[in-house]
Amino acid sequence: MLLLFSVILISWVSTVGGEGTLCDFPKIHHGFLYDEEDYNPFSQVPTGEVFYYSCEYNFVSPSKSFWTRITCTEEGWSPTPKCLRMCSFPFVKNGHSESSGLIHLEGDTVQIICNTGYSLQNNEKNISCVERGWSTPPICSFTKGECHVPILEANVDAQPKKESYKVGDVLKFSCRKNLIRVGSDSVQCYQFGWSPNFPTCKGQVRSCGPPPQLSNGEVKEIRKEEYGHNEVVEYDCNPNFIINGPKKIQCVDGEWTTLPTCVEQVKTCGYIPELEYGYVQPSVPPYQHGVSVEVNCRNEYAMIGNNMITCINGIWTELPMCVATHQLKRCKIAGVNIKTLLKLSGKEFNHNSRIRYRCSDIFRYRHSVCINGKWNPEVDCTEKREQFCPPPPQIPNAQNMTTTVNYQDGEKVAVLCKENYLLPEAKKKKKKKK
C-alpha cells in the first residue's frame, strides 16, 4: 500500500513539472505586495495566481494605479512588476522648459533652456529622470562669461583693444576720417553679450521732426519743429502715472529712439511716517502716487533735508531730520588752493552760512552752503569729469527699450518685462559708473 502511494505521488509531481510553470515570488524594488505577510517569500507561485502590488512614495507602477494587478503566466509575471521614480520641477531658475510643472517617469529625458549667461551643471542641455531623481538639478547657474571681440565697420574705432572682454567691460567708439557716429558712443559686455548695438559712421546724417507724443505724458522742454542728430529730449508722466523704459529719447539719423511708456500707478501710500521733533498738517490716507506733503520742525529745531516728502510708487520719500539748534555743527574750510571771497580760510561757519569761493587756477567762482557741519556741495578744487554710464542694455524678455543715450552716475531706468515674465529683485536698473 505504501509503495503504491509513493508511485502515484512521484507520477503526479512528474506530471506537474512537465506541464505546469512556476513563477518566482515577486521581489519589487521600491514596492510591496498586498497582504505580503500572508505569503512565504521563498516559495514559488503557480500559473494563474494573481497578486496586487503598490509602490513607495515618489514611485509609481507603469500603469500609475495605486494597486497594480500582476498574474503568473507561462512567460512569467504579466505585466512585469516594477516601480518607477517620479520626477518633476515647478520652474527652472534662470531658464525655462516645456516640462515645467509636469510629472515625468524614470527613463524620461527633458530639455532645459537656460537664459543667456547661465547653464546647467556640466553644461548639459538635457536632464533625465533616474532612480535617485533628476540626473542633473534643473537649475541654471551663472556662467562667468566673455563677449566676443567685436567686428566693426572699417571707419569705426573701439577702445580699449583686447584679445577678450569680460562681463562688465565697456567699449568706447569714435569715427575716423571726420565721419559722424550714428548710434551709441559706448557699449557694455553683459552675460547675454554686448548691448546696445554697435554704432556706424556716416558722412551725412538727417535731422528729426518733433518728438512723438507720449500717452499720459509730455516732453519736459519746449517742443521744437526740428532736432539735430544726437539731440536728446526728456519726458515726464502725468500725475498718478510712472515712467517705464528710458525717460530720454535721442534723434539718431532722422529717427527717434524707443519711446517710454507711462503706466497708471495704483499703489498708494499710507500714513505719513512720524518725524522726530517735527510735525505735518493732519490729513487722512491713502495718498496717491505723486502727492507731496510739507513737513515742519518744532521751534528751536532746524531742518536738515527737504521739507517736502512725496508718495512714489506706494513709498514715501526720505524724511528730513530735525536737529536742535544748539546741537548744529559748524563747517570749516581747509586747502591752500581755495580762496574764499573774504579770505576766511581756517575759520568756522555756522549752519546755513553761504560762501562764494574760487580755486587758485580757476577764475570762475563757486558757491556752497554749510549744512550741519558739511558743505553742500563739497568745497573742492579737484576738477572732476562728469561720469556717464553706457546706454542701458536691452534685457532679454524685456519690452523694447533700445536707446543710445548715456546716463549719469546714480540715474535709474525702469524696466518693463514682456507678458508672462517677471524681473526678479529690483524693478529698476541703477546706473553705476565703471
DSSP calls for 147-158: EPPP---TTEEE
Q: Is residue 269 part of a domain?
A: no
Q: What is the pLDDT at residue 168?
A: 86
**What average pLDDT does the segment 155-161 reach?**
92
Phi, psi for residue 294 in degrees, rounded to 5: -85, 140
174 and 128 within one domain: no
Number of helices (H), then strands (E), belonging to the chain: the values are: 1, 46
pLDDT at 338: 62
Choose between 2 and 333: higher pLDDT. 333
The x, y and z cell numbers of residue 284, run together, are 487722512
Q: Supply 174's cell numbers.
A: 569714435
CB 186 within 8 A of CB 201: no
Q: Report how far residue 255's alpha carbon sits from residue 258's, in angstroms, rounded to the nearest whole number.
A: 9
3-state secondary structure of 76: strand
- Residues in CB range of 91: below 8 A, 6 or more apart: 100, 101
Tens of pLDDT, residue by residue over 84-103, are: 999 988 888 888 888 888 89
Domain with 184, as residue range(s), is 146-202
Identify whether 133 is part of a domain: yes
Q: Tell me: pLDDT of 388 over 70.
A: yes
Residue 354's pLDDT is 87
Q: What pLDDT score was predicted for residue 10?
A: 33
Residue 295: pLDDT band by 50, 70, 90 thresholds? very high
Query: CB atoms < 10 A from the CB of 19, how many?
Result: 8
pLDDT band at 13, cuts 50/70/90?
very low
* Domain CATH for 45: 2.10.70.10
180 lies in some domain? yes
Is 241 inside a domain boundary?
no
* Distance from C-alpha of 338 to C-alpha of 403, rounded to nearest angstrom: 41
* DSSP code per residue over 7-75: HHHHHHHHHHHHH--EEEPP--TTEEETTGGGS-TTSEEETT-EEEEEE-TTEE-TT--SSEEEEEETT
pLDDT for the residue numbered 119: 82
Q: Band of the pLDDT at 176, cuts 50, 70, 90? A: very high
Domain end, chosen from 95, 112, 142, is at 142
Indicate the pTM of the whole model: 0.48
Of 191 and 44, the one with more pLDDT: 44
Three cell numbers written together for 425: 529683485
Report whether pLDDT(268) > 90: no
Which of 93-102, 396-405, 406-415, 423-432 has the weakest average pLDDT? Answer: 423-432
The answer for residues whose C-beta is within 8 angstroms of residue 332's C-beta and 6 or more apart is: 346, 347, 348, 349
Q: Residue type at 305?
A: G
Q: Specify if 132 maps to a domain.
A: yes
Quick one: 184 and 136 in the same domain? Answer: no
**The total number of residues written for the chain in this structure:** 434
Cα dihedral 147/153/158/162 (nearest 10): 50
Q: pLDDT at position 366, please? A: 82
More confident residue, 89 or 416: 89
Asked if pLDDT for residue 16 goes beyond 60, the answer is no
Q: Kindly list the distances between the CA atom of residue 283 and the CA atoms of 173, 267, 287, in Å, as whole numbers in the listed order.
A: 54, 18, 9
Rounded Cα–Cα distance for residues 384 and 409 (Å): 13
Same domain, 50 and 90: no
Q: What confidence tier does 11 reach under pLDDT thresholds 50, 70, 90?
A: very low
- Which residue has better confidence, 328 or 244? 328
In this prediction, residues 166-173 reach a mean pLDDT of 89
Question: Beta-carbon neighbour count of residue 289 at 10 Å?
Answer: 21
pLDDT band at 144 (very low <50, low <70, confident <90, very high): low
* Choice among 13-17, 69-73, 86-90, 92-96 with the minimum mean pLDDT: 13-17
How many Å is the maximal CA-CA distance in the chain? 142
Indicate the residue among 82, 111, 134 that finishes a domain: 82
Q: Is 13 part of any domain?
A: no
Judge contact between 316 and 306, C-beta under 8 A. no
**Which grid coordinates are listed for 322?**
530735525
Instruction: Please report, rounded to a whole number, the percentage of residues in the chain having pLDDT higher than 70.
Output: 85
If asked whether residues 130 and 154 sit together in one domain, one would say no
Overall domain count for the chain? 5
Residue 34 · residue 15 · CB < 8 Å: no
Q: pLDDT, tens digit, for every residue of 203-258?
A: 999 999 999 999 999 999 888 999 999 999 999 998 878 888 888 999 999 999 98
Q: Are residues 183 and 156 in the same domain?
A: yes
**pLDDT value at position 380?**
77
Q: Where are the beta strands (DSSP E) in 354-422?
A: 354-359, 366-371, 374-376, 388-389, 407-408, 412-414
- Same-domain check for residues 352 and 334: yes
> Three-state DSSP class for 123?
helix
The pLDDT of 183-192, averaged and rounded, is: 87
Please state, in angstroms and rounded to a whole number, the distance separating the CA atoms of residues 86 and 61.
10
Three-class SS state of 326: helix
Say which amino acid occupies 283. S
Q: Determine the 3-state secondary structure of 319 from DSSP.
A: coil
Q: What is the mean pLDDT of the chain?
A: 82
Residue 110 lies in a domain: yes
